[in-house]
Amino acid sequence: MNDTPFHLGHVHLKVRDLERAVAFYEDVFDLEITETEGRFAFLSWGDHHHDVALQAVGADASDAGRGVGLYHAAIEVDSEENLGDVYDELCERGVPSTPVDHGISKALYFSDPAGNGLEAYVDTREERDRSAWDRENRRFDPSAL
């Protein structure tokens, strides 16, 4: 058994047509919608709030970068302390990160050496007694973790 405090949290994909993408992931992979919020749909196999996040970017979106495609891969960390350790390691390597408190999670957004978007996060829904994302995106001080 693996004793690591990390596991793949979710994949966030930007799509042109949200309804079509939701139907695809429901039908092909048996994912179920856990929440929709404006241009977002969150789908899960049941153990997490979401395993796949879909974000509608419009029919005219480009094929790369800010257009359609992978936005980021998310790695869930099992505690705020371990998220703080990730932050420290990023700082030691000179990797800039953006800390965002979503109300249901605390996250660090950054890029790997190849420029792929990554998110390391800790789920805070249980400790905050929250079940849904309320479009919160506030900065927090990761050095305080």
pLDDT digits (tens, 9 = 90+) for 49-78: 999 999 998 888 877 666 777 888 898 999
Number of domains in the chain: 1
| Residue 1 clears pLDDT 60, i.e. is over it | no
Contact 10, 19 (CB under 8 A): no
> 114: domain CATH number?
3.10.180.10
For residue 106, what are the CA distances in angstroms to 44, 61, 84, 99, 140?
19, 29, 10, 7, 8
| Residue 2 clears pLDDT 70, i.e. is over it | no
Distance of CA 128 to the CA centre of its chain: 18
Instruction: Give domain status of residue 67, yes or no.
Output: yes
Instruction: Give domain status of residue 97, yes or no.
Output: yes
Instruction: Give domain status of residue 50, yes or no.
Output: yes
pTM: 0.71
The residue segments making up the domain with residue 60 are 6-144
| Residue 133 clears pLDDT 70, i.e. is over it | yes
| pLDDT for res 64 | 62
Instruction: Give domain status of residue 82, yes or no.
Output: yes
pLDDT digits (tens, 9 = 90+) for 68-124: 778 888 989 999 999 999 999 999 889 999 999 999 999 999 888 767 788 999 999
Instruction: Give domain status of residue 128, yes or no.
Output: yes
Instruction: Give domain status of residue 1, yes or no.
Output: no
